[in-house]
Structure 1
Amino acid sequence: MLFDMDGTLVDSEKVWDVGLRELAHRYGGELSVAARTRMVGTSMSESMDILHIDIAQPWRDVEASVTWLEDRVCKLFAEGLIWRPGARELLADVRAAGIPTALVTATRRRLVDVALETIGAHNFDVVVCGDEVGNAKPHPEPYLTAAAKLGAQAARCVAIEDSPTGVASAKAAGCLVVAVPCEVALIPMDGVVTIDSLTATDAVTLRSLVARRAVA
């Protein structure tokens, strides 16, 4: 089982909102809603490019902005993160069922380690962070890497995602994708099961999806 983090397990996109808008204000700008929406699910460097262009300051140094934002969001993460509805219960159910589990996130390791203080490092056999792969989502590498580290074929894994970028990454890797929209609406796609909330599924249901795919 492969889980995205931001917007899927924890309601951290609102925390990112705070940091991103503070950074834009620091530069004398205002982050637009459209630009913020485009950032969901992207890497830190891509998000900074979007922010810099949005506030008409494309010359800004990406790494300097990433460093400031990480410092700020790290402090906000340390104050605690709120679970998405049904996320903690589903994760516990999956673990109790003995299903190997990975966290696959575009967020960088430094922040993920802080987030894991809330969601529990013990809940994951493997953690793949955005700065630990050569190609970020929507490239399939993050999910292919996680599956390989679990010793599983991606086609036999369920990936749970909330963003178009993450869904594209998991689908390209060959995973069975369960999409749970959070901040951004998702377009229906073949091979993607969309649910309103993680309260609507459990380990038995997810296993049955994989079994049905195997005999299809």
Structure 2
Amino acid sequence: MTGADPLAAVLFDMDGTLVDSEKVWDVGLTELAARYGGVLSAQARVQMVGTSMIDSMTILHNDIGQPWRDPYASTQWLEERVKELFADGLVFRPGAAELLGALFDAGIPMALVTATRRHLVEVALETIGRRYFDAVVCGDEVDESKPHPLPYLTAAALLGVDVSRCVAIEDSPTGAASARAAGAAVIAVPCEVDLSGLAGVTLVDSLVDIDLPYLRRMVSRES
């Protein structure tokens, strides 16, 4: 590998990592709970971050004392509402746009790896920029969701790279566990959830603190 770039690719989570969309989900989830005559607790909301839609709906239903509700029907209502909110535009997390641009200019392959379903991701990509990503793995396109390693293994396979030479950037314990289990080096950037107790990851305050040399050093350190 003499002369080869140690960094094969960067794998990004979406919600809360690249864009401040967790607050958009907050709106939709609060409205859904109210639609059922309930109030979503802060504890239940934290438990949802990084999970699949069905798991999130199960948490919501249990939290408001209505475990009998159909998670698929709730998912359909919530996603339609969030799609409307996404279409109004999303706000980048600090440093996200700059990091994407720098990696794109350097020719570093990138993938988006998200638990969000494809039809919502397509709307979000209008804001984020689909040109940045050589692969996109959505929550409804893999048989196992985070924290299972399959989403990140799928992304590396689509890019044709060794996952051990990739850096994954996440904002949730669930997502970080998925990337770590897949064998990627992991950067955790907190948004809505405290990540200080995570093991086996590099914790940074903001994407502003990350540049290409930093990412290359991470991969070299892990190998």
TM-score, shorter chain, exceeding 0.5: yes
Gap runs ≥5 in structure 1 = none
CA drift at 1:212: 2.7
Question: Which residue type is aligned with residue 216 of structure 2?
Answer: R
TM-score scaled by length of structure 2? 0.94
- Could you list the per-position Cα deviations for residues 129-161 of structure 1 after superposition, in whole angstroms to 9, with x for gaps in the alignment? 000000000000000000111111111100000
Find the counterpart in structure 2 of residue 141 from structure 1: 150
Q: RMSD of aligned C-alpha atoms?
A: 0.8
**Count, aligned residues:** 214
2:214 maps to 1:205? yes
Map of 1:17-36 to 2, 5 A cutoff?
Answer: 17-36=26-45
Gap runs ≥5 in structure 2 = 1-9
TM-score scaled by length of structure 1? 0.97
Find the counterpart in structure 1 of residue 110 from structure 2: 101
Find the counterpart in structure 1 of residue 67 from structure 2: 58
Question: Which residue type is aligned with residue 64 of structure 1?
Answer: A
Find the counterpart in structure 2 of residue 39 from structure 1: 48
CA drift at 1:189: 4.0
2:188 maps to 1:185? no
The CA distance in 2 between the partners of 1:212 and 1:20, in whole Å, is: 40
Find the counterpart in structure 1 of residue 130 from structure 2: 121
- Could you list the per-position Cα deviations for residues 82-141 of structure 1 after superposition, in whole angstroms to 9, with x for gaps in the alignment? 000000000111111111100000000010000000001111000000000000000000
Q: Check whether the contact 2:136–2:155 (CA below 8 A) recurs between aligned residues.
A: yes
CA drift at 1:208: 1.8
The CA distance in 2 between the partners of 1:46 and 1:189, in whole Å, is: 22
Find the counterpart in structure 1 of residue 172 from structure 2: 163
Question: Which residue type is aligned with residue 54 of structure 1?
Answer: D
Q: What percent identity do the matched residue pairs reach?
A: 68
The CA distance in 2 between the partners of 1:189 and 1:4, in whole Å, is: 17
CA drift at 1:203: 1.4
Helix, strand or coil: the match of 2:127?
A: helix
Find the counterpart in structure 2 of residue 89 from structure 1: 98
